[in-house]
Amino acid sequence: MTNQARLVEQLLRRGVATRAELAKAAGMSQPTAGKIIDELSSAGVVEELTGSNEVARGRPSVGRPGKQLRLSQSPARLVIVELGVERTRLSAVPAALPDDEHWDVEFKTPTSEAAWRQRLRQHAATLSIRRPWGVMVSVPGLVDETSGKILFCANLHWCERSDLVAALYEVFRAPVSLIQESRALALAEVGTRASASDFLLVDFGDGVGGSIVMGQRPYEGNVPATGEIGHTPIAGNLRQCGCGNRGCLETLVAAPWLVRSLAELTGEPEPTFAHVCRAAQGPELPQFLMDALDAAASSIAGILNVCGLKRVVLTGHIRDLGTRASDHLIAAIRRAAMWSRFDAVEVELVQRRRARGLTIAGIQRVIMPTDWGEKYAPVENRMIAR
């Protein structure tokens, strides 16, 4: 990792810091760190805070405090894109991490590449950004991030035949990097909390995805198929999945399949996920929901047992189902996890922070590539002089 990237990484984790604090944390001399910070400031990557340092730090200071630094909050440097099964969202963002899940524009994801390209061009013109440094794109399915290709997408098959990198480059004229959607969510959690403990993130939505984080980085295997927890076969489940197999976990617990289960139970012609949430918050959990949650818990606990993890972060619609459903899932995970015999298995429900995760990916891959991010950054993506 370069000295520049090391300093940016420390600032990313701390949020706000002085030059002396950054130099000490990065293990370099203050003159060296100061020179690099001046370069980063000139490039628009970092900025000094204005106003009271005591207010910014939230604590009193003794003597004359050092100037506080943070990642620049303007102007916009990156374009971030979420390509979802149901909707596509875009924003122009600075280097600073967003505090909330705000998106500048949004449109329903079409059913063909040609229609998606057309909508993309229309909405991209409304973004307030000139000459972006890079475009970070969250995508579903099996993704080869080094080559920028979606190999397989069970719920959005047209992506498999598309050159999304070329399509986005044509619109923004900037380097484009794809990141699997669950890995983007996991990166957001890494950049949100001070804890450096390893964890498994599981996201419940139109599908079910996961990402293992070890050593502050999303784990990657020899093939780009990590975190595909939704395609774990569940005994006794005969449903045909979009991946081509039968019995996948997501055909029980993903949002569209929970709606189908409710329809099969009640005979309602057109139930929605809101109906599922109301059923989950009734006097008792429906049996189909308990079965789906138990299957998810077994799959999650299997990963914990194999990888030696004791922390789980859950995102997505599990929060919408209510506390009874989430408590059932958490209890089932803890029962099935071997480590719970010796110590606490931590399970936390959090909101999705996809915009934050994509911004972090942009910092690590485009703005100032780290040792991890550099693997996914083509040579032309390295925007700032080293």
d(CA 182, CA 287): 28
Q: How many domains does the chain have?
A: 3
pLDDT digits (tens, 9 = 90+) for 167-176: 999 999 999 9
pLDDT digits (tens, 9 = 90+) for 345-368: 999 999 999 999 999 999 888 887
Does residue 386 lie within any of the structural domains?
Answer: no
Read off the pLDDT of each residue in 30-45 and give the average, rounded to a whole number.
89
Read off the pLDDT of each residue in 258-278 and give the average, rounded to a whole number.
93
Question: What angle is formed at CA 142 by the lines to CA 316 and CA 226, rounded to 5 degrees?
Answer: 75
Which one of 50, 71, 92 terminates a domain?
71
Statement to judge: residues 66 and 89 lie in one domain: no
Statement to judge: residues 290 and 181 lie in one domain: no
Statement to judge: residues 170 and 140 lie in one domain: yes
Statement to judge: residues 226 and 286 lie in one domain: yes
The CATH code of the domain that includes 95 is 3.30.420.40
Does residue 253 lie within any of the structural domains?
Answer: yes
Statement to judge: residues 216 and 329 lie in one domain: yes
pTM of the model: 0.87
Cβ atoms of 58 and 11 closer than 8 Å? no
Statement to judge: residues 13 and 82 lie in one domain: no
Statement to judge: residues 251 and 159 lie in one domain: no
First-last CA distance in the chain: 11
Domain range for 132 is 78-186+354-381
pLDDT digits (tens, 9 = 90+) for 158-196: 999 899 999 999 999 999 999 999 999 999 988 766 556
Statement to judge: residues 82 and 17 lie in one domain: no
Helix or strand or coil: residue 81? strand
Six-digit token string for 241: 């999945």
